[in-house]
A and B are shown apart, each in its own frame.
Chain A
Amino acid sequence: MKLEKQPLLTVRNLRTYFYTEDGVVKAVDGVDFEVYEGETLGIVGESGSGKSVTSLTILRLLDPKGKIEEGSEIIFNGKNLLELSDDEMRKIRGNEIAMIFQEPMVALNPVFTIGEQIMEAILLHQDVDKKTAREMAIDMLRKVGIPEPQKRVDEYPHELSGGMRQRAMIAMALSCRPKLLIADEPTTALDVTIQAQILELMKELQKEYGMAIILITHDVGVIAENADRVVVMYGGKVMETSDVKTIFKKPKHPYTWGLLTSIPRLDVEQERLYSIPGMVPDPLHFPQGCRFNTRCDFKESKCSVEMPPLIEVEPGHLSRCFFYKKLDEAQKILKAGEGA
C-alpha cells in the first residue's frame, strides 16, 4: 500500500568519506533507501555504523573533512539536494527538512531564550513580523506539552529539565511544519518514562502534521514501537531493510538476527543471551568482502572475498547476505529456546 506512493526522499548510492590524517574513513559507503510521505523510517545501528553521518549528509551539515562522493544522490521532493546552492539549501534546512538532536543541552544555544531560538527559524522561513512569530512560538510550546508556555518562552535552556528541553527542540523543529523530520537518537539521553512521553508526542504530532520521520537509534525496542519500515546499518552499509513486522519476525541477515537476540527483553524469558563475537570494525580498516564476515556465525569462504549485494529476498525485504537461508535453521533453534 505504502510502496505504491511516490517517495518523499530517495537516497541513492550515498557515499560520505572523511579524509583524515590516518586515511580515508568510509563512514557511509553506498547507502540506498526511500522515505515515503507520512511514514516513520527507523535507521538502526551501533556506533560507527554511519547512521548519524547519513542524516547529517542529507542536510549537508558535514564538517569540512567530510566529502560527499561523486555519484551520490539525495532526491527530496524531486530536487537533488546535492546540486543545490548553499542559499537554496538554507531554504530547505529547518523549513522543509528539520532535525532534532540527541543532546538538547548541546543543540540549544545557552545564551538565547527558548522563544528567541524558535522565533529565529520562523522569522527566517516565514513572512511574519516579530509579534506574530512570538505568538507562533508560544503556540508551538503549548502543542509540545510545555506547561505555562507564556512564561517558558522567555526562559533559557538551563532552566528546563531534559525532557522539557527535548520538547522545546521538537517545537523548534516543527515550527515551520516540515515535510520531513530527522530525529537522531532523540530520546537516548532521557529516562525511560520521559522517553515514552517524547515518543508519544512525536507520534501525535506526526498524525497531526502528516510529516515523515527518519528515526535514528541504537535501541531496537524504540524502533519496534515507532517505525513503519526499518533500515539496519553496519559498517557504513545497509545490511537489511524491510517493514517493521517482518524484520522482527523473520530477519534475513545474521547481523540483524544477532542484534535482536543479544538484547535482554521484558516480554520473553531468556536463559542466556546470544552475543555477537568480536567487536565493531574500525572504519579505517573494514574487512575484505562482507563487512560483517569477521563476526558472522554463518560465514563461508565466499564472504571474505566478495561484498554481497543487497538482494530482494521477499517483496519489499532486502538483505545483504549470500546465505540468508541459513538463518531459518537458526531461528528454529531460537524458537526451541536456545541461543546458537
Chain B
Amino acid sequence: MTENKATLNKNGNSTSEKKVLLKIDNLVKHFPIKAGVFKRIVAWVKAVDGVSFEVNKGETVGLVGESGCGKTTVGMTLLRLYEPTSGRIIVDGEDTTHYFLTSWKAKNYVKKTYLERFKKSGFVPNDELDRKYFEIFTKNGESGLIDYLVGNLEEKRLAFRREIQIVFQDPYSSLDPRMRVKNILAEGPLAHKMITRDQTIDRIGKVLEEVGIHPTHMYRFPHEFSGGQRQRIGIARALLMNPKLIIADEAVAALDVSIRSQVINLMMDLQKEHDLTYLFISHDLSLIKYISSRVVVMYLGKVVETALKKDLFDEPLHPYTKALMSAIPVPNPEFKKQRIILQGDVPSPVNPPSGCPFHPRCPVAKPICSKEKPALREIKPEHFVACHFPGSL
C-alpha cells in the first residue's frame, strides 16, 4: 500500500495544525453469552455500545472509566484483537475496519458501508472519508473502489500491526518468560523487515538506553528485572516499531508509587522526542489529568463526556464525571471538596438501564432520564456531554 509507506516517510510534520490520526465512529462491541447444550446465545454483553472519539496526531487522549465501562474493550477492538460488531475505525484518513476480515467479508463491508450509499441518487457525503472514497468511486467505478479498499489486504494488515502498538498493564505476563529481552524486542522489527539481523544488537541497545535500561542487560530474561524495568521493556518494544499510535492500557497501574512517576515521565519524554501519539486508558483520573491533553469519560459502554483536559477538570458537565472527581482521594488533608457519594454499583452491561445508563445512580435524575437516551452534544466548543441536564450537579 503506497499511502502507508508515504506517510511513514513524511513524519515530523508541524504539530500545530490538527491532524486526526485516529477516528472511532460509533464503535459497537457486543459479546455473546452462550448457554445450554447447544450453546445457544441467550444474551449479549454490551461492552462497547456506540463510542465515537478522535485522537489527533501528537496528543495524548485519556480514556477513563471504572471497571466494566468498556475502556479496555475499546483498546482491544481498536487493535483488532476483537472484531468490532459494528462501527468504523479510521486511521490516518483510511477506513481500517475491514482489514482483518476475509476478503469476501471485507468486500461485503465496503459494499454495505459505502457503495450502497454512493449508488443512491442525490448522495451527499457525510465526512472527509466519504468525499475521498466517492471521488475514487466516480473516477474508477465500483470495482475501482473495492480494489482500493480491499486490494493488498495482507500488506495493509502488516502496516496496521506496525503502526499501532500497545503497552499492557501487567508487566509480568506480557513478556515471554523464556525469551531473552533481546529476542523479545527483536521479534517485531525482524518480522516487519525493519532491521536486518546484523543490526539487531545495535538497534536494541539504543532503544534500551532510551528507556533507561543498560544495553548490556539485553541478554537477560524478564524475571531478572523489576516491575518498573519490565514496563520500560514493554515501552521499548512498542517504540521499536516506529508506531503512529501507542495504546497504553493501565500501563502504570501495577507499579509502586515511586516507580510509577518514573515511567510516566519517561513516556512523556519519549512523546516529545519522537512525536508520539498516545491513547492512555486508565481508571485513575489524577493520572489522566497529568498526562492527557484531551479526556474521554466512559460509563457502561458509552462516552458520557469528552473535552479538552482543562475544560473537563475546570467544569465537568456530566454528573458522573463530577461524582468520579469527587470520589478521588486528594492527598491534602486540608483540601475541602464537594463530596458526592454515588449510591449502588455499576449496573451490568448485559442488561443496561433504559434511557441514560447513569440514571439509576444519578443524584439529579429526572423522569425523562429513564426514558430517553441522551445524545452526545457539543455544549461548548470541543466539549461534548451526553446528559439531558448538563452541569446541573
Contact = CB atoms under 8 A, between A and B. Distances in A.
Contacts of B328: 192, 221, 266
Nearest to A270: B290
Given A163-B345, A193-B342, A248 B265 contact: no
Contacts of A78: none
Interface string B270-302: 000000000000011111011100000000000
A193 B328 CA distance: 8
B331 interface: yes
A262 B285 contact: no
Nearest to A258: B258
Given A193-B341, A224-B332, 8 more contacts: A193-B327, A199-B329, A249-B334, A259-B258, A262-B261, A265-B332, A276-B258, A295-B258
Contacts of A295: 258
Contacts of B260: 262-263
Contacts of B291: 264
Nearest to A280: B256
Contacts of B113: none
12 contacts: A46-B257, A164-B345, A193-B323, A195-B329, A197-B341, A199-B329, A223-B331, A224-B335, A245-B334, A264-B290, A266-B286, A266-B325
Interface in B298-357: 313, 323-335, 337, 339, 341-343, 345-346
A326 interface: no
Contact of B264 (A260, A273, A276): A273
A274 B333 contact: no
Nearest to A49: B256
A225 B330 contact: yes
A196 B341 contact: yes
Contacts of B264: 264, 273
Contacts of B313: 266
A192 B331 CA distance: 15
Interface in B123-149: none
A3 interface: no
Interface string B26-42: 00000000000000000
B210 interface: no
A161 B345 contact: yes
A280 B290 contact: no
Interface string A24-64: 00000000000000000000001100000000000000000
A265 B325 CA distance: 11
Contact of B329 (A193, A224, A262): A224
Nearest to A199: B329
Nearest to A48: B256
Size range of the chain B interface in the assembly: 35 or more
Contacts of B285: 192, 266
B262 interface: yes
B289 A263 contact: no
A120 interface: no
B226 interface: yes
Contacts of B286: 221, 263-266
A267 interface: yes
A197 B342 contact: yes
A265 B331 CA distance: 7
Interface in A273-293: 273-277, 279-280
B67 interface: yes
B368 interface: no
A279 B230 CA distance: 12
A259 B67 contact: no
A245 B333 contact: yes
Contact of B257 (A191, A226, A259): A259
A294 B332 CA distance: 28
A264 B289 contact: yes
A277 B261 CA distance: 10
Contacts of A196: 326-327, 339, 341-342
